[in-house]
């Protein structure tokens, strides 16, 4: 099968165009893959930042809870200490075996 000169003039540019089209098709596929990878990367970054923000909120909430808990424990301790002091004062006022009642009737 031999090609004539005129057929060669048409065939060569068409093979060149076909090669270009095939290269463009391959690049298009690669571009789609790149865009998909970028969108996945963006979603992962968004999820990470959301998780980090949530962790920061949780930490702040836990710190506030700890502070409130520590304050309430401190207050309870102070209250117990005050009650002990009052009990000690009452114990000092009362004699252990004589009692505190006076009988004036007889």
User: Domain residues for 52?
Assistant: 1-80
- From the list 2, 48, 74, the residue with the least C-alpha distance to 82 is 74
Give a yes or no: residue 92 inside a domain.
no
Give a yes or no: residue 87 inside a domain.
no
Q: Number of folded domains in the chain?
A: 1
C-alpha span between 17 and 11 (Å, rounded): 10
pTM passes above 0.75: no
Whole-number Cα distances in Å, 82 to 38, 74, 79, 89: 65, 12, 5, 11
List pLDDT tens digits, range 18-66: 788 888 888 888 889 999 999 999 999 888 888 888 888 888 888 888 8
Predicted confidence at residue 47, as pLDDT, reads 87
Whether 11 and 3 have beta carbons less than 8 Å apart is answered as yes
Give a yes or no: residue 97 inside a domain.
no
């Amino acid at each position: 099968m031999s090609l004539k000169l005129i057929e060669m003039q048409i065939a060569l540019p068409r093979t060149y165009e076909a090669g270009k089209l095939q290269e463009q098709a391959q690049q298009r596929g690669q571009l789609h893959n790149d865009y998909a990878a970028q969108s996945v990367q963006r979603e992962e970054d968004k999820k990470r930042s959301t998780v980090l923000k949530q962790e920061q909120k949780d930490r702040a909430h836990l710190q506030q809870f700890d502070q409130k808990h520590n304050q309430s424990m401190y207050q309870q301790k102070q209250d117990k200490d005050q009650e002990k002091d009052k009990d000690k004062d009452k114990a000092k006022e009362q004699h252990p075996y004589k009692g505190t009642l006076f009988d004036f009737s007889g």
